[in-house]
Amino acid sequence: MNLYSFRDSNIRKTWIIFSLFLIVIIGLGWFFSYAYQDRAILYFAVIFSVLVNFLAYWKSDKIALTISGARKADPQHFVEIYRIVENLSITAGTPAPQIYIIEDVSPNAFATGRNPKNSSIALTTGLIEQLNRSEIEGVVSHELSHIKNYDILLSTVVVVLVGIIALLSDFFVRFSWMGRGRGSDRGKNPVIMIIGIASIILAPIIGTLIQLAISRKREFLADASGVLLTRYPEGLASALEKISVAPAMRKPHNATAHLFIASPFKADSGQKKIPWMVRLFSTHPPIEERIKILREM
Burial label for 221, CB within 10 Å (0-12, 13-18, 19+), is middle
Cβ count within 10 A of residue 170: 13
Catalytic residue among 143, 241, 289, 296: 143
253 labelled ligand-binding: no
80 has binding-site annotation = no
Dihedral pair phi/psi, residue 140, rounded to 5°: -65, -40
Query: Which residues have CB under 8 Å from 207's CB, separation 6+?
Result: 162, 165, 166, 254, 255
Identify whether the C-beta of residue 187 lies closer than 8 Å to the C-beta of residue 83: no
Cα distance between residue 214 and residue 152, in whole Å: 10
Pairing of strands 70-72, 118-124: unpaired
Q: Does the annotation count 143 as an active-site position?
A: yes
Q: Is 77 annotated as a binding residue?
A: no
Provide CB contacts within 8 A for 8, sequence distance 6+. Answer: none
Is-contact 285 220, C-beta < 8 A?
Answer: yes
Catalytic machinery residues: 143
Q: Which residues belong to the annotated binding site?
A: 142, 146, 219
Annotated binding-site positions for Zn(2+) = 142, 146, 219
